[in-house]
A and B are shown apart, each in its own frame.
Chain A
Amino acid sequence: EPEVTQTPSHQVTQMGQEVILRCVPISNHLYFYWYRQILGQKVEFLVSFYNNEISEKSEIFDDQFSVERPDGSNFTLKIRSTKLEDSAMYFCASSRDGSYEQYFGPGTRLTVT
């Protein structure tokens, strides 16, 4: 059964550094998403991406964040200058089209020190 994959599973970085989180969505899916879950808090939506552009973003997704689909298979989330409060589990998801359910990857745990 096809699944969403994410790398790395755990990333440790120092405050102020740039990080790139990588995702490989399910191959015939067209919509892609990033969510995050700070420890002890709800899973929160960050951004959705369709047809090579952002279709929706939350108030969390500020200028420090960017997304890209650099090729036909990867979907990346970049944080330009990490802050302590960016420490969280980051989930990638994909959907066949926007009206179907979203399938989630296992997450990348980002720790900012």
Chain B
Amino acid sequence: AQSVTQLDSHVSVSEGTPVLLRCNYSSSYSPSLFWYVQHPNKGLQLLLKYTSAATLVKGINGFEAEFKKSETSFHLTKPSAHMSDAAEYFCVVSRGNRGSTLGRLYFGRGTQLTVWP
């Protein structure tokens, strides 16, 4: 079975400081992992994805995440937060890798990121 635990429901940072959003996963398969972001009244936007290639994944808007199999983690980071990064972030896992059907996505509960000026 697949599941995701986002370790923080809320994270607050000052603009210009680093961002760390933590995610641990559980999967019976070699998983694909994703981070999605949701701004108020907007849909879920894909930030980045890991599908069994390089373990350090770069996404949009300066975000990156590292897949650590030994720690079953896929934490999201950004060196310097911007006011526009304030949103809700979802860590997501699916079974299977590129080349196989990913099937349903399993979402974490989300982490609300607040960025202070």
Chains A and B belong together in one complex: yes
A residues near B, CB below 8 A? 3-4, 33, 35, 41-45, 48, 56, 58, 91, 93, 95, 98-107
CB neighbours (8 Å) of A44 from chain B are 107
For the complex, count residues of B whose C-beta is within 8 A of A.
25
CB neighbours (8 Å) of A104 from chain B are 36, 43-45
CB neighbours (8 Å) of A107 from chain B are 43
B residues near A, CB below 8 A? 34, 36, 41-46, 49, 90, 96-110
Q: Report yes or no: B103 in contact with A103, Cβ–Cβ below 8 A.
A: no
CB neighbours (8 Å) of B34 from chain A are 101
The docked-state distance in angstroms from the alpha carbon of A101 to that of B98 is 9
Distance in Å: Cβ of B10 to nearest Cβ of chain A: 14
Q: Report yes or no: A56 in contact with B43, Cβ–Cβ below 8 A.
A: no
Which 3 A-B pairs give the minimum distances between C-beta atoms? Answer: A98-B101, A45-B104, A104-B44
